Amino acid sequence: MGESDGRIRAMRRWQFWAGVGISLLFLYFALRGLQFGDVWEILEGANYWWLIPGVLIYLVGVIARAWRWHYLLRPIKSIPTTTLFPITAIGYMGNNIYPARAGEVLRALYSGIHNKHYPNTTILNERYPGHGKKMSKGCQWGRAMVEFAP
């Protein structure tokens, strides 16, 4: 048991350092032509007071989306908006960071694992309203097959 734990730790260490190396390589490619003196001048001259209304508007938007999601889930289960707000925020954070709207998958995973809510069909209805009913049925059948598979 101790030998396999050592191998797992070594593999994780190897994967970690490979990830760091790849990240540094792409960071170099992204920043290689940047004039840091010019960037510093621009940052010094920026008016950071505009961040306050920007963050407030974004916050109101996420609260409104969580509230909308609350009403989409109401026929299935009444979940308070205060519970759905962090899930929605995590999903939109994922959309800002990851490609191809992967934050929606993150939102579905977070809501299903941590809160035992299964709103995957409502996420589909919210994102693809014209095809939501067909996609919802497909997700329900897929979930049923996974849950009841031998």
The answer to whether 103 and 94 have CB atoms below 8 angstroms apart is yes
Length of the chain: 150
Give the Cα separation of 26 and 45 in Å (integer): 28
- Give pLDDT, residue 57: 97
Could you tell me the two tokens for 31? 């920043």
Q: What is the pLDDT of residue 130?
A: 58
What was the pLDDT predicted at 103?
83
Q: How confident is the model at residue 10 (pLDDT cuts 50, 70, 90)?
A: low
Is the full-model pTM beyond 0.85? no
Highest mean pLDDT among 3-17, 58-72, 89-103, 130-144: 58-72
